Amino acid sequence: MLPTALVHEIDRLLKQGELSHRKIAARLGVSRGVVSAIAKGRRGLYGKESDDEPRSLTPTLPPARCPRCGYRIYPPCLVCCARDAAAAKSARGN
Write out the chain's pLDDT in tens, 94 residues: 788 888 999 999 999 999 999 999 999 999 999 999 999 989 888 777 765 555 555 666 788 899 999 888 888 888 898 999 999 988 887 6
**What torsion, rounded to 10 degrees, do the Cα atoms 81, 74, 57, 87 define?**
-10
